[in-house]
């Protein structure tokens, strides 16, 4: 099959990693795969996914259309790509690619068009545009049952076919990563760290995390809190770092060794307001860590039977603080959860399983 995978950008996020795993897996199975990034390609340390794709012989093309006012140019760029080298099938991921690439592919007659929905984000304007694109898709792939339910309620008349294919984790690659050393940030290597990894955005509930973690830092002198990521809340969180002290609360920015830091932490936290299927939870499961998260889209599906012991309702900092504290003061029970998280990640979320499901879907639509 000649397969185009289109995405908004190729930064180091969950959707981008999923697309990279899918592209490489399909290429290794003998398909002709091309990746189209509407935005510019990342540079330096953040270009890991681009390098991985190119190392495996996957063609990568980028439009460099990074600004909202360039939407028309992005559309015509995509359309020209499909005309010049037409694929048998287009798979899109993320909102901008879902809309622009689907419309462009429809206009030039790409036979099969499939969308990818990663989060359950309510936005009336976006839903109006995305509904029109979804109506031109042969199928919509959702990353979790929760996102599928959202899509069904938001686009009841637009969806022609719906599939749920969860994220995957490369267990072998995870196992070859050594834990980070905390002394690289000036903390003792035996530090007991509560870790957040993700975008510094209101979606992730970082205001709730600060409200929950501050009294716990005062109550447990051995506890430290570390945040890894970039985003619009950085300045606000820098003021929290200054107030609480860098010896207890640290904001590190984006790190290419985020998985190594997850391996070194004691507890991963994710107090999100909404998600799709958070890759960082899957990474923490794969390395065998307990998790404190909110009951948002995809989280319970990842954690399975152990979700009730590692989740609480969103938008409740007091309940989230109680969950973190319970996992902190019961290390034996937390270790059992960590081991069971690891087993579930290995057995249920492998990359070959994910690629199999996409490949099966593609073949069924091309028949």
- The first and second tokens of residue 82, run together, are 């499909």
Mean pLDDT of 67-76: 95
> pLDDT-based confidence at 182, cuts 50/70/90?
very high
Query: Residue 125 above 80 pLDDT?
Result: no
Query: 9 by DSSP, 3-state: which?
Result: coil
Query: Tell me, what's the pLDDT at 128?
Result: 86
The reported pTM is: 0.85
Q: Assign 276 a pLDDT band (cuts: 50, 70, 90).
A: confident
CB 260 within 8 A of CB 180: yes
Tell me what the pLDDT averaged over the chain comes to: 95
Domains and CATH numbers, the chain: 2-168+350-366 (3.40.50.2000), 172-348 (3.40.50.2000)
Per residue in 2-22, pLDDT (tens digit) is 999 999 999 878 899 999 999
Q: Which helix (H) or strand (E) holds 115?
A: strand 112-117
User: How far is it, in rounded angstroms, from Cα 203 to Cα 232?
Assistant: 11
Residue 13's pLDDT is 80
How far is 283 from 279, CA to CA, in rounded Å? 6
* Rama region for 52: left / alpha / beta (φ>0; ψ in -120 to 50; rest): alpha
Residue 127's pLDDT band (cuts 50, 70, 90): confident
pLDDT-derived band at 126, boundaries 50, 70, 90: confident
How far, in Å, are 211, 227, 235, 236 from residue 242 at the CA level? 15, 14, 11, 10
């Amino acid at each position: 099959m000649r397969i185009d995978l289109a995405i908004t950008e190729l930064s180091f996020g969950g959707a981008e990693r999923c697309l990279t795993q899918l592209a490489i897996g399909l290429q290794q199975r003998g398909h002709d795969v091309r990746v189209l990034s509407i935005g510019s390609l990342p540079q330096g340390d953040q270009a890991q996914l681009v390098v991985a794709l190119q190392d495996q012989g996957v063609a990568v093309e980028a439009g460099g259309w990074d600004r909202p006012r360039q939407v028309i140019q992005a559309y015509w760029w995509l359309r020209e790509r499909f005309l010049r080298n037409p694929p048998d099938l287009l798979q899109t991921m993320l909102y901008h690619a879902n809309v622009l690439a689907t419309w462009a592919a429809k206009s030039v007659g790409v036979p099969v068009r499939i969308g990818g929905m990663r989060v359950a984000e309510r936005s009336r304007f976006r839903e109006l545009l995305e509904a029109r694109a979804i109506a031109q898709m042969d199928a919509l792939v959702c990353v979790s049952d929760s996102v599928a339910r959202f899509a069904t309620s938001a686009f009841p008349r637009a969806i022609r076919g719906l599939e749920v294919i969860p994220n995957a984790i490369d267990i072998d690659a995870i196992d070859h990563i050594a834990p980070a050393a905390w002394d690289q940030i000036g903390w003792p290597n035996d530090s007991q760290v509560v870790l957040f990894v993700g975008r510094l955005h209101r979606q992730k509930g970082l205001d709730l995390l600060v409200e929950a973690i501050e009294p716990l830092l005062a109550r447990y002198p051995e506890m430290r809190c570390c945040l890894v990521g970039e985003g619009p809340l950085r300045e606000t969180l820098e003021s929290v770092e200054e107030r609480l002290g860098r010896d207890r609360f640290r904001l590190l920015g984006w790190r290419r060794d985020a998985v190594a830091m997850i391996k070194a932490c004691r507890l991963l936290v994710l107090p999100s307001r909404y998600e799709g299927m958070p890759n960082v939870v899957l990474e923490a499961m794969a390395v065998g860590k307990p998790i404190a998260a909110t009951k948002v889209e995809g989280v319970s599906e990842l954690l399975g039977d152990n979700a009730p012991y590692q989740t609480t309702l969103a938008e409740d900092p007091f309940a989230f603080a109680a969950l973190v504290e319970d996992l902190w003061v019961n290390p034996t029970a937390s270790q059992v959860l960590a081991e069971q998280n690891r087993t579930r990640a290995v057995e249920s979320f492998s990359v070959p399983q994910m690629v199999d499901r996409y490949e099966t879907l593609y073949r069924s639509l091309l028949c």
